[in-house]
Structure 1
Amino acid sequence: MKKFVTLFTDSYKELKSVRTITTAAMLAAIAIILGMFSINVGSTIRIGFSGIPNGVCAYLFGPVVGGIFAGGLDVLKYLLKPAGPFFPGLTAVVILAGVLYGCFYYKKPITFWRVLLAKFVVMLICNVILNTLCLSVLYGKGFMVILPARVIKNLIMWPIDSMIFYSILKALNLLGILKAVRRNFA
C-alpha cells in the first residue's frame, strides 16, 4: 500500500518541475497533431493515435501528472477541433485513464505484458464501460445498443494499440530519449 501511495506523492512532486511542464507541453503538441488524424466511425466510435503521448507522459511522470495531462489535453483538443458536444463525464474518464496508465507504468520496467495488461484495464473500465455509459447518456441511445460495437472495436484495437505503444516506448528507450528526459528530472 505504501508503494502505491508513493506513486502518487512522487508524481505530484514532478509537477513542481519546469521540465515536467515543458515536456508535457511538447507531448501535448504531438497529441494534438496526432488527434487531427483520427478516424470517426459513426457517432460513437473514433480510432486515433493521440493516446500515445498520454501513455508516454504517464510513464515519465506518473499518475497525478498523467491524469492532469490527459484531462487538460482532452479539453484543449475539444476547443481546437470539436467533435460533438462537450461532456464533462468523458473528460473525467480520460483523467481516470491517465491515472491508471501512470499506476501501471511509472517507475516500472516496460514489458509487453505490462503494456498489454494496462491497455486491457483501461479499455475495459474506461473505453468499454464508462465511455459507453457517457455516450449513452449524451446521445440518448441505450447502453446495450452501443456496447457491442464498442466491445468489438476495443477487442480489435487492444493488441494493435499495445504493440504500437510498446514499440514506440522501446524505440524511444533505445534512442536514449527517455533516459535523457528521466536524467534531467532526477
Structure 2
Amino acid sequence: MRNNTAQKFTSLKIVRAGLFIAMSLVLKVMFEVYIPLGGIPALRINFASIPLMLSGIVLGPATGFLAGASADLINFMVKPGGPFFPGFTLASGLTGLLPGLIYKYTKKDINYNFLNTIFISLLSVSFVSIFIYQGLLTFDNGIMYNGNSLNPIYIAGFFALVLIYLIIPIKITSKHSDYNMNKIVFTVSVTQLITSIILNTYFLTILYGKGIMAWLPARVLTNFFMIPLYSIIIVAILNAFKKLEKS
C-alpha cells in the first residue's frame, strides 16, 4: 500500500514538473526578446524563469533542478539562441534548485524586508559604481553620461524604481495571502543574483571572449525590473494554486 502511494506521489510530481517545463518552453519560445550587446545577443528578456522557480518552490529543490536543466536542453533543441554551452544548463537548473532550497530551509520569522533592502542597496551601489568605473557616469560638471548631460528623469526613475522594489512587497502581502511576498522577493533576488547576474554573465565572457563589463551593466539594470515583476507573478500563481487545492 505504501509503495502504491509513493508511486502515485512520484507520478504526480513528474507530471507537474513536465507542466512547468512546458510552460517555461512556451514562454521562452513565444515571448523572448533578445537585446544585442556588442553585436551579440547577450541579453534575453523573458518570463521562462518563472515556471522553473515555481517548480522548485512547489515540488522541491531536486525536482526544480531537473526541471530547469531539462527545460534548457529541450529549448536548445527546439530553438537554439546560440552555441550550446553547459554552463547555461547549470544556471537553468539552479533557477529551479535555489528557490526550492531557500523556500524550504529558510526560517519564516526572518526579516526578509530588511534583507531585500540590503540587497537592492548593494545592487544600486554596484550599478552606479560600474558606470563610474567605465567612465560612462561622471560628476565633474554635473551628472554626465558618456559626455552628455544625464536627463534628470532617468535619475528620478532610477530612485523611483528602487522605492517600488521596496514598497511593493509590503503592499501586496496581505493577511489573506498564503505566501509572504517579502520572502518571495528575497528568493527571486538571490536566484537572479547567482544565476543571471553572476553565472550567466561569467559564462558569456567565456563563450564570446569579451570582458565582464561588456555585459554586466545591462544585466544588472534588467534585473531591477524583472525581479519585482517575477515576484508579483509568482505570488499570484502560488496563491491561485493554494485556492485550487482548498476548493
Report the TM-score range of the alignment, normalised by the length of the smaller protein: 0.7 to 0.9
Distance 1:169 1:145, change over 3 A: same
1:22 shift after superposition: 1.4
Is the aligned partner of 1:26 residue 2:19? yes
Equivalent in the alignment of 2:165: none
Equivalent in the alignment of 1:155: 224
CA distance in 2 between counterparts of 1:62 and 1:103 reads: 7
When normalised by structure 2's length, the TM-score is 0.62
Equivalent in the alignment of 2:49: 51
Equivalent in the alignment of 2:120: none
Greater helix fraction, Structure 1 or Structure 2: 1
Equivalent in the alignment of 1:6: none
Out of 26, 34, 45, the position equivalent to 1:40 is 34
Contact 2:17 2:59 in 1 (8 A): no
Contact 1:15 1:21 in 2 (8 A): no
Q: What amino acid maps onto 1:94 in structure 2?
A: S
Cα deviation digits, residues 102-132 of structure 1 (max 9, x gap)? 1123488631011100111011111111110
Cα deviation digits, residues 27-62 of structure 1 (max 9, x gap)? 222221111211111111111112221122112211
CA distance in 2 between counterparts of 1:123 and 1:55 reads: 10
Is the aligned partner of 1:98 residue 2:96? yes
RMSD, aligned CA? 2.2
Q: What amino acid maps onto 2:186 in structure 1?
A: L
Out of 157, 169, 179, the position equivalent to 2:238 is 169
Cα deviation digits, residues 55-96 of structure 1 (max 9, x gap)? 221122111110011001110011111001110011112222
Query: Aligned to 1:44, what secondary structure does the other structure show?
Result: strand
Contact 1:14 1:61 in 2 (8 A): no
1:149 shift after superposition: 0.9
Query: Aligned to 1:85, what secondary structure does the other structure show?
Result: coil
Query: Aligned to 2:80, what secondary structure does the other structure show?
Result: coil
Query: Aligned to 1:41, what secondary structure does the other structure show?
Result: strand
Structure 1 segments (4+ residues) deviating >6 Å: 13-16
1:146 shift after superposition: 1.2
CA distance in 2 between counterparts of 1:131 and 1:154 reads: 13
Query: Aligned to 2:50, what secondary structure does the other structure show?
Result: helix
5+ unaligned residues in a row in structure 2: which ranges? 1-5, 109-177
Q: What amino acid maps onto 1:45 in structure 2?
A: L
Q: Percent identity?
A: 34
Out of 40, 58, 61, the position equivalent to 2:59 is 61
Which protein has the larger Cα radius of gyration, Structure 1 or Structure 2? 2
Is the aligned partner of 1:72 residue 2:70? yes
Out of 120, 144, 147, the position equivalent to 2:213 is 144
Equivalent in the alignment of 2:126: none
Distance 1:79 1:111, change over 3 A: same
Number of equivalenced pairs:
166
Structure 1 stretch displaced more, 161-170 or 81-90:
161-170
Contact 2:56 2:64 in 1 (8 A): yes
